[in-house]
Amino acid sequence: MLRTAAQRMGSGLRSSSQSGLTCALAQQRMMSVVAVEQPPMHHASKYYMDLEEKHGAFNYAPMPVVLSRGEGAKLWDVDGKEYFDFASAYGSVNQGHCHPRIRDAMVEQMSKLTLTSRAFHNDKLGEYVKFITEYFGFDRALPMNTGVEGGETSIKLARRWGYNVKGIPENHAKVVFAEGNFWGRTLAATSSSTDPTSFTGFGPFMPGFHNVPYNDLAALEKEFKDDFNVCAYMVEAIQGEAGIRVPDEGYLSKVKALCEKYNVLLIVDEVQTGIGRTGKLLCQEYDGVKPDMTILGKSLSGGMFPVSAVLASHEIMLQLKPGEHGSTYGGNPLACAVATEALKVSTNGNVAVLTFSSDG
């Protein structure tokens, strides 16, 4: 079942125009774009691409397609060409492009209040964290903006828990990651990477990070057994950047058992696999696992606004005190309104069911 679900994540951008031509580049995570003949480059597309090349950084190598409009599962470029979008912005628009309910919730909140900073309360944050924790069955939520911020947040929480609860000596906490992991491009994320294109030329790296082979329970247990200072194991339910690598059935449940045996926190990164991407609201549900922390992002806002969150227990989340972590935009009223509606759409619109059952 998990491997079948993974197949739902492996598609890219396909043209639906009369010519049937498709632009493709099989290089990005969670995408396996099937290429056919390249379409002719029209004047409008070249204009916008030339602007990027002249004035922008070269930190991406996008497909030669300049998109200008999206609706549901379809996209249109500046030359009027129509595409079916199986890439979903790396899993950020699982509800479809410009979903009317999410859009309307955003517009309504924009007309009232968009940002206060966390120096004040706002009338959306409390309702949002109540909703999302009940929705996924966790005690508390810490709102951030991007998936990589969610990863950073979970590591800080794990380290603090390691010192205060497990009794790890100060500044000796270790976090274990799976080889082939991808959770962003900050210095911490780069430090955990085993991909030379991610880490070469960006050292020195964050201390206290270790890697074990993905889907290797024996190697993971050895890491836990040999070092008391391990505070957490952070892992993707299905690896995306590494090539959509699906673990053995029951892998996460066995990992959870090891974490409990050695008093190590399990952090499951569901930024790409979550919110219906694999046929369930969370991919971890296939193994019936409730990790100590879950990281969410991307489709948490239906592609309307940068929103991420870390879900955890009281014991873990309350390790943080005021001023020790946060973000100016994290938990802003606009993000809260958008994410709440995006989650409601994911349930009412049967996003997970449609993802799993669709043949196209």
Domain definitions of the chain by residue range: 8-86, 100-357
Q: What percent of the chain has pLDDT over 70?
A: 85
| Amino acid present at 26 | A
Q: Is the pLDDT of residue 101 over 80?
A: yes
pLDDT digits (tens, 9 = 90+) for 68-77: 999 999 999 9
What would the pLDDT profile of 316-325 be if each residue is shown by its tens digit?
A: 999 999 999 9
Of the candidates 156, 160, 118, which has an alpha carbon nearest to the alpha carbon of residue 295? Answer: 156
Asked if 53 contacts 60 with a C-beta cutoff of 8 angstroms, the reply is no
Range with the lowest mean pLDDT among 18-32, 109-123, 135-149, 327-341?
18-32
Topology annotation, domain 100-357:
Aspartate Aminotransferase; domain 2 (3.40.640)
Res. 331: pLDDT tops 80: yes
Long-range own/partner contacts, residues 159-164 (CB < 8 A, 24 or more apart): 159/208, 159/231, 159/232, 160/319, 160/320, 160/324, 161/231, 161/265, 161/315, 161/316, 161/319, 162/229, 162/231, 162/232, 162/265, 164/319
Type and span of the H or E element at 160: helix 147-161
Q: Active-site residue numbers? A: 182, 269, 298
User: Could you tell me the pTM of the whole model?
Assistant: 0.89
pLDDT tens digit sequence for 233-279 = 999 999 998 889 999 999 999 999 999 999 999 999 999 999 999 99
